[in-house]
Amino acid sequence: MTATRFIFLTIAVLAARVPLAAQDLEPRAYAAAPTGLHFVVAGAGRSSGGVVVDPSLPLEDAHATVGTAIIGAATTFSLFGRTALALGVLPIAHAEATGRIGEDARSATRTGLADPRFKLSVNLLGGRAMKPSEFVRSQRNTIVGVSLSVISPGGQYDSQKLVNLGANRWAFKPEFGASHAIRRWTIDGYAGVWYFTTNDSFYPGGSVRTQDPVLALQAHGSYTVRRGLWVAVDGTWYAGGTTTVDGADKGDFQRNSRLGATVSLPIGTRQSAKVAYSTGATTRIGADFNTIAVSWQYTWITPERP
């Protein structure tokens, strides 16, 4: 349960905007941690391909390159006797997009704040809240947890423009996750659903856009080489998300999958770095792009009272 895992999913989601938020790839999201653990995280990512464009927009042959920089902070604490993690991420993005509206070729460049993200995770089975001194003596092979991710409408948005960095609505994802360790291997599986509020100021200015929920499934297998150094292969499948604009069904049901890999590298005792890559595996609408992300994390623990 560390901050950099959430950073990678944030960068990937910013590349495709909120409608494709089910493309999260987050290995070891429900790992054990002691209470009083704090993180500061910075990261950057780049995505290119069929990204940025909302499937309900009248834009064809879309291609974009999106660069994202983020800063985030997180802390672990006891919640009703279980270990919980609260995390927030503030992103800034630069996007260059091209496409066609009918016979006309168009291009757009956007730079500014993207939608902030927040997450609360709670480990249930195998997640009893423990101070650091108690945590190092405990053993946990199986962890089961739940989480709630929230994307707030704080990003740059102009209802008169086709391409935006924000989505002008809220998104919520309750999720159930499980993790099991077998010697050096860790196997993870998650199931969640994204829900979206209405955007009542959609292009070209006064339209009302709604979106159906998106079911999202993830699976990860990671191998620990030594303490702090591990590699993971990642996969996700998601379906749903049909949109309507002013009551008209846009016929943009999503059924896509993505594959990726993540490497975590320790830097001394308090720092670590991660590198992640993902690509579309099977694509119906909106997932035909590649993403690479890097992040740095600084960690410290609140000293225990005597």
User: What does DSSP assign to residue 20?
Assistant: G
- pLDDT score for 279: 87
- pLDDT score for 287: 59
Q: Which CATH class is domain 3-301?
A: mainly beta
**DSSP notation for 126-141:** T-B---HHHHTT---S
- pLDDT score for 251: 79
User: What does DSSP assign to residue 184?
Assistant: T
Tens digit of each residue's pLDDT, the chain (306 residues): 444 444 333 333 333 333 334 456 788 999 888 999 999 999 998 888 765 445 555 556 667 788 889 899 999 999 999 999 999 999 898 888 777 665 666 777 889 998 999 999 999 998 899 998 888 888 778 999 999 999 999 999 999 887 788 889 999 999 999 999 999 999 999 999 999 999 999 888 889 999 999 999 999 999 999 988 999 999 999 899 898 999 988 877 888 888 999 999 999 889 999 999 988 776 655 556 788 889 999 999 998 776
User: What does DSSP assign to residue 165?
Assistant: S
Q: How far apart are CA 41 and CA 175, in angstroms?
A: 23
**pTM, entire model:** 0.87
Q: How far apart are CA 27 and CA 58, in angstroms?
A: 35
Query: What count of Cα atoms within 13 Å lies in the side-chain half-sphere of residue 268?
Result: 7
Q: How far apart are CA 35 and CA 305, in angstroms?
A: 13
- Strands laid side by side in the 199-202 sheet: 199-202, 207-211, 243-245, 248-249
- pLDDT score for 49: 76
Spell out a b/e string for 128-161, using b for 16 or more CB atoms within 10 Å of the CB, else e.
bbbeeeebeeeebeebebbbebebebebbbeeee
